[in-house]
């Protein structure tokens, strides 16, 4: 398998590139997030790749970051999601946005991507939950310290969904202690 390509960028025809590596030109499909960060033609480019071998073709997909490649690999494992759809998802939203949408179970954000309908979005949310969902402590800037993540874990342990817990935490002022934070979050949840 080809895991990395380093060479001279010869052509850019979205979403495909032509990269010369020692006299051999590789056609590589990339998401638009990678495409926008490419150097000028004639300059050196380094891409992490995923090679797909099919009966009728050997296809190479390139990514600017290991994070994008890992998400691509997770996406193509899902039934009904092929490489083109995975590239479309990565072109339509950043890895961080996708992780947040999975964590908060927001199908609406996924259906805004061309080619992703309601059923596919729901399948993505179901299949990727726990595999790709953002670290709950990183979803919001207010959740950077331990007390907030303790409050979040307590709410989830009490049976609230990730989304409900996250919404309740928005009602808790930053710097609040764990016990007081739990009280405030439960109060916010009881009003909802």
Say how far apart CA 74 and CA 91 lie, in whole Å. 15
Number of domains in the chain: 3
What pLDDT is attached to residue 135? 46
Q: pLDDT: is 60 or 129 the higher one? A: 60
Which of 63, 97, 114 is the endpoint of a domain? 63
Q: Is residue 156 part of a domain?
A: yes
Mean pLDDT is lowest, of 20-29, 48-57, 82-91, 145-154, for 145-154
Angle at 40 between CA 37 and CA 46, to 5 degrees: 60
42 and 76 part of one domain: no
Q: Is residue 177 part of a domain?
A: yes
Whether pLDDT at 140 is above 50: no
Last residue of a domain, one of 87, 108, 128: 128
Indicate whether 142 pLDDT > 80.
no
Residue 51 main-chain phi, psi, to 5 deg: -105, 125
* Whole-number average pLDDT of the chain: 86
Whole-model pTM over 0.85: no
Domain end point (choices 25, 48, 63): 63
Residue-number span of the structural domain to which 30 is assigned: 4-63
Shared domain for 70 and 121, answered yes or no, is yes
In a domain, 153, yes or no: yes
């Amino acid at each position: 398998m080809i895991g990395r390509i380093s060479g001279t960028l010869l052509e850019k025809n979205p979403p495909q590139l032509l990269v010369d590596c020692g006299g051999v030109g590789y056609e590589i499909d990339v998401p638009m997030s990678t495409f926008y960060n490419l150097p000028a033609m004639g300059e050196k480019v380094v891409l992490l790749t995923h090679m797909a071998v099919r009966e009728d073709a050997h296809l190479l997909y390139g990514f600017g970051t290991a994070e994008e490649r890992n998400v691509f690999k997770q996406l193509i494992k899902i039934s009904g999601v092929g490489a083109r759809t995975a590239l479309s998802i990565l072109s339509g939203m950043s890895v961080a946005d996708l992780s947040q949408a999975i964590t908060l179970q927001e199908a609406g954000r996924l259906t805004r991507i061309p080619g992703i309908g309601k059923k596919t979005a729901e399948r993505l949310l179901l299949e990727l939950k726990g595999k790709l969902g953002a670290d709950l402590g990183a979803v919001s800037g207010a959740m950077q310290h331990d007390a907030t993540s303790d409050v979040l874990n307590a709410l989830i342990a009490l049976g609230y969904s990730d989304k409900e817990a996250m919404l309740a935490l928005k009602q808790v002022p930053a710097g609040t202690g764990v016990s007081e934070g739990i009280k405030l979050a439960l109060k916010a949840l009881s009003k909802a």
